[in-house]
A = this chain, B = another copy of it.
Amino acid sequence: MAEVVQKSQEKIPEQDFQENIIFLQPIIGYGVARVLDSSHQNFTKGDLIWGLINWEEYSLIKDTTSLIKIQHTNVPLSYYTGILGMPGMTAYVGFYEICSPKKGDTVFVSAASGAVGQLVGQFAKLFGCYVVGSAGSKEKVDLLKNKFGFDEAFNYKEEQDLDAALKRYFPNGIDIYFENVGGKMLEEVLRNMRLHGRIAVCGMISQYNLDQSEGTRNLFLLVARSIRMEGFLVFHHYHKYPKFLEMVLPLIHEGKIAYVEDTVEGLENAPAALIGLYKGTNVGKQVVTIAHE
């Protein structure tokens, strides 16, 4: 791969290359891979790993900091891109640590059918909370209610008035909001938060592709309701990964937690799958498989 980049760079006049930062590299994303050869002491031929790898069939990985060796193979390997990987850890850290949950808390999860949201909702249910999720299609809403065991779910695209929708499901307000979308949704959730509410800010997907982020109103309610709103990055918490596996693997094997993937085959279908994420066409964790045996 390094060679390919080098060749492409040669075609670009030096000055253009300096002035315009051009990345001639594959897209990076979380994936599962098998080690074909290694000079790194932690990894040997045949090992399975998950972590940040390139979108390509064969990769030369020089930065191994994100790589974790897979120890448990009695689950689908693709789970290490989701429930057993970064999204799983995100749900775990976000819910148990950032949300400071108490039994009986009312929990709202946006983008609830995504890789992180579906797990947060199930963790919250197992913990003894009342859980409502929002998603962008009937299919996703059905999944939340029938597969993931959310108490209630609604299609935000069909709600004229988000405030009214939230009041319908949370007549006494929201204790915990797991924030994945940002923008208008956050604004309306703030109006419905209870005293001492907690908002774990995991992502704001509605804001990522805007030239300028939208403004969120109602932030003064943070004071009036003594709300804590906290962002977090999962990679600050990877030392807790073994503890996380210890909790989540039995839940998977005992069928106490459900997990849904949306799989496309072949690297050539990966770009469309990525674009689909922002349109919300995927149902569950979006996975791209590139099989090589």
Q: Please report A residues at the B interface, Cβ cutoff 8 Å.
A: 182, 186-187, 201-204, 207-208, 212-233, 236
Contact = CB atoms under 8 A, between A and B. Distances in A.
Nearest to A212: B217
Contacts of A229: 222, 228-230
Contacts of A207: 219-220
Contact of A215 (B208, B215, B223): B215
A212 to B, nearest CB: 7
6 contacts: A201-B219, A202-B223, A204-B219, A213-B220, A216-B219, A223-B232
A95 to B, nearest CB: 15
A97 B140 CA distance: 41
Nearest to A218: B213
Contacts of A215: 187, 214-217
A203 B223 contact: yes
Given A215-B216, A216-B216, A229-B229, 19 more contacts: A186-B219, A201-B222, A202-B223, A204-B219, A204-B220, A208-B220, A212-B217, A214-B217, A216-B217, A221-B231, A222-B229, A223-B231, A223-B233, A224-B233, A225-B231, A226-B231, A226-B232, A228-B228, A228-B230
Interface SS, A side: loop
A212 B226 CA distance: 20
A118 B194 CA distance: 31
A204 B236 CA distance: 31
A219 B213 contact: yes
Nearest to A206: B220
A164 to B, nearest CB: 18
Contact of A220 (B182, B224, B227): B182
Contacts of A233: 223-224, 226
A100 to B, nearest CB: 12
A94 to B, nearest CB: 10
A216 B220 CA distance: 11
A224 B207 CA distance: 13
Contacts of A214: 215, 217
A135 to B, nearest CB: 20
A225 B236 CA distance: 11
A87 to B, nearest CB: 14
Interface centre among A207, A212, A231 (most CB of B within 10 A): A231
B227 A230 contact: yes
